[in-house]
Amino acid sequence: MTKIKSLADLKKIRDEVQSKIKLRENSDHPEQTVQIKVGMATCGIASGAKETMNYFVEELEQQAIDAVVTQTGCMGYCYAEPTVEITLPGKGPVVFGYVNKSKAEEIIEVYIKRGKLVDGIIPVNFKTIDE
Amino acid sequence: MSDYKMHLLICSGTGCKASESEDIINSFTSLIDEFGLEDEVQIVRTGCFGFCEKGPIVKVLPDNTFYVRVSPGDTEEILKEHIVKGRTVQRLLYTDPVTNENISDSKGIGFYKKQIRIALRNCGFINPENIEEYIARDGYMALGKCLAEFTPEETIQEIKESGLRGRGGGGFPTGLKWEITRKSEADQKYVVCNADEGDPGAFMDRSILEGDPHSVLEAMAICGYCIGADKGLVYIRAEYPLAIERLKTAIKQAREYGLLGNDIMGAKFNFDIELRYGAGAFVCGEETALIHSMEGLRGEPTFKPPFPSVSGYMGKPTNVNNVETFANIPVILNKGANWFNKIGTEKSKGTKVFALAGKINNVGLIEVPMGTTLREVIYDIGGGIKNGKEFKSVQTGGPSGGCLTKDFLDTPIDYDNLIAAGSMMGSGGMIVMDEDDCMVSIARFYLEFTLEESCGKCTPCRVGNKRLHEILDKITKGKGEVEDIERLRVLSSVIKDASLCGLGQSSPNPVLSTIANFENEYLAHVNDGKCPAGQCKALLKYEIAEDLCTGCTLCFRNCPVGAITGERRQPHFIDQSICIKCGVCFEKCKFDAITLT
């Protein structure tokens, strides 16, 4: 890859890569992919986040659902690990707690495929620095 | 996609469930059936909203209406008025305590403004193993701007104006520390990141390094630019394998992108970062001990001055900052000191990350502005005490801090207030205790920790803490005497006065603060031979009430040590000399015939 040699370079790369997480920042973005973020800090992994993540990746691929599954750090809801944040196209992010395999299956079937919320949502309750 | 036009989010966290949220859900379900709205309105059970005080909570989407203290009798009105006719039910809205206005959108409610994420801004948002996601969130922009547009002095000035103080516990002004290190003249200087997080129950730094490692690397490079160092070292405990892995990946990526290395962003500034592993000794969080450990020497503190900013790693000027302190730096420089110093209290600016643990519903990681009260943290954000028990105490500051009682619940949290209350900020561990926790045992637990972690250099700390522990142990075993309390006090003050480093100077704090705030409990142990919380096994006594015992023999059959005797259908007895106080008989008895005193 190209090295960043100046502030202008950095700004250019930022603008390029910004579109990649744009979907996460702006839920009105029309792009047709589902964004899934699995909390993979120590607390998440200890509660089986790795299995949950693998399940999402495999299952979505098998069902040919266009989705981006990424890992992220601790969302702070350690009591409800594994936690998964899902952003459907055109919708705000929703955080689900205690996502084991069967919960993941339910989320894929009910929320991702049919857009109906399932029980176990964790209401996000903090302000970000962008607000 | 969904056909539903409306979502009813109903809280089914422990708090709201206790106030009939399940009945509300049932009532809504049958009403929606009755009105034939099954295809239009969906009911969703959610986790705790955190606003338990105003529960049960019902939130209506898409218009984001937030109803508080809803009772099962209110459901019909909400359905008929709001869902059918689209009119908000004013009387169930949250009323702002200051303006007395009804607020319908939850974003306008004070509680939801309580958490603000600065140090944790990217945790749980970006993929920590992908530098591009960090760059997309303005990552390395602060470093780029400093290198291109600001002198080191200007940058330090900005940090000073922000009012940022060290988040490792001491609270020393960060800008001032950078300035002192800058002014120390030497051919080589170092930037050190203290990631030796050791307080029991604290995991703020680990989460930052696991969730957003680049923010720390960027800040270290900025620090290097400001103080004139080209080398950074992260001292991290080997017990954090995932954080180490993520840091390694981040360093590798930053080097590949030219954000670490030689001639960064064409500004003739060189900076690189290496990792140094600690073996997990608590004392190595003290900066002089940390430096000795990095040099390959024993992890023992030495006298200050000279401070590390004058003579630190390898005898060279070294700037040591904590992980969370560093994580704040890029935001301050991107958003400006004036943005940052508007958050917080007069002398403590910005936010603080706390690891909430213990007997609290929402165990987790929170970030609140300085000046938030303990009550807001424990009840509003933490969701209150587990299993509806009574709050007893909150321990802040780890083994160096103290236990605060409910009298301090409305104290705004900042460096100075916590010290005035007899505890300290520390690195941000917050352990909540309920009525079942014995404060003498808690003090003993912390002493056990410092006892093991004392490096042994100073006699008062090495021997004194051992003696403190012995006295506490004696009290919990029911062999204490009233004079022991005074002995604890005197010994504690000697240890505090005569120890070299922060570990010894603060290790008696849990003892002193529990004596100050819970002297009754100590007295109950030594005078009455009772443990009010029922935790000290040696002081417990299980007895069988003759009139309630049916002689079912269940306890007799379950007792692991054969301490229970008695004939079938006749009252049984417990032989106190054999009983090990395991409590099995108490749990098994179906007739409540066994009492615990």
DSSP string, B269-306: --BEEEEEEE---GGGGSHHHHHHHHTTS-S----SSS
Domain for residue B120, yes or no? no
Domain for residue B533, yes or no? no
Considering CB atoms only, which of A9, A115, A126 is closest to B116? A126
**Residues B149, B152, B154, B159: what is their CA dihedral angle, to the nearest 10 degrees?**
110
User: Average model confidence (pLDDT) for chain A?
Assistant: 82
One domain for residues B35 and B143: no
Q: What is the pLDDT of residues B300-310, one digit of tens each?
A: 999 989 999 99
One domain for residues B331 and B215: yes
Domain for residue B332, yes or no? yes
One domain for residues B391 and B450: no
Q: Which of B54, B55, B32 is nearest to B43 (CA)?
A: B32
- B500 band by pLDDT with thresholds 50, 70 and 90: very high
The two structure tokens encoding residue B492: 């504690």
Q: Identify the pLDDT of residue A114.
A: 85
One domain for residues B185 and B231: yes
Chain B CB contacts of A6 below 8 Å: 144, 148, 265-266
Return the CATH number at B377. 3.10.20.600
Q: Hey, are the CB atoms on A5 and B363 less than 8 Å from each other? A: no
Q: Identify the pLDDT of residue B1.
A: 34
- B50 band by pLDDT with thresholds 50, 70 and 90: low
One domain for residues B103 and B148: no
Domain for residue B560, yes or no? yes
Last residue of a domain, one of B413, B434, B455: B434
The two structure tokens encoding residue B182: 């800058």
Q: Identify the pLDDT of residue A30.
A: 41
Chain A CB contacts of B324 below 8 Å: none
Q: Which of B129, B136, B330, B253 is nearest to A23 (CA)?
A: B136
Q: Structural domain of residue B422, as residue ranges?
A: 351-434
Last residue of a domain, one of B434, B460, B489: B434
Q: Identify the pLDDT of residue A76.
A: 84
- What total of structural domains would you count in chain B? 5
Q: Which residue of A has its CA nearest to B51?
A: A125
Q: Hey, are the CB atoms on A74 and B9 less than 8 Å from each other? A: no
Last residue of a domain, one of B527, B552, B571: B527
Q: How many CA atoms lie within 13 A of A48 on its CB side?
A: 13
Chain B CB contacts of A118 below 8 Å: 44
Average pLDDT rounded to a whole number, residues B38-67: 79
Q: Identify the pLDDT of residue A26.
A: 45
Least confident window among A29-33, B36-40, B83-87, B264-268: A29-33
Which residues partner with B216 through β-bridges?
Answer: none
One domain for residues B458 and B430: no
Considering CB atoms only, which of B9, B111, B117 is closest to A129? B117
Q: Is pLDDT of B77 > 60?
A: yes
One domain for residues B327 and B447: no
Q: Is pLDDT of B453 > 80?
A: yes
Domain for residue B504, yes or no? yes
- For chain B, first and last CA: distance in Å? 61
One domain for residues B419 and B443: no
Q: Is pLDDT of B377 > 60?
A: yes
User: Average model confidence (pLDDT) for chain B?
Assistant: 90
Q: What is the pLDDT of residues B23-36, one digit of tens each?
A: 999 999 999 999 88
Q: Is pLDDT of B3 > 70?
A: no
Q: DSSP per residue over B375-391, as a string?
A: HIIIIIIT-SBGGGPPE
The two structure tokens encoding residue B165: 């103080």
Q: Hey, are the CB atoms on A72 and B125 less than 8 Å from each other? A: yes
Every domain of chain A and the residues it spans = 32-117
pTM: 0.81
Q: Is pLDDT of B529 > 80?
A: yes
One domain for residues B483 and B503: yes
Chain B CB contacts of A84 below 8 Å: none
One domain for residues B149 and B240: yes
One domain for residues B185 and B319: yes
Q: Is pLDDT of A89 > 90?
A: no
Site of tokens 């140094």: B276
CA distance B538 to B529: 9
Least confident window among A60-64, B112-116, B205-209: B112-116
One domain for residues B262 and B297: yes
- B2 band by pLDDT with thresholds 50, 70 and 90: very low
Q: Hey, are the CB atoms on B266 and A21 less than 8 Å from each other? A: no
ipTM for the predicted complex: 0.72
Q: How far is CA B424 from the centre of its chain?
A: 13
Cβ atoms of A62 and A108 within 8 Å: the answer is no
Q: What share of chain B has pLDDT > 90, as a percent?
A: 63
Domain for residue B568, yes or no? yes
Whole-number Cα distances in Å, B520 to B142, B245, B523, B532: 54, 48, 5, 9
Superfamily of domain covering A32-117: Glutaredoxin (3.40.30.10)
Cβ count within 10 A of residue B466: 13
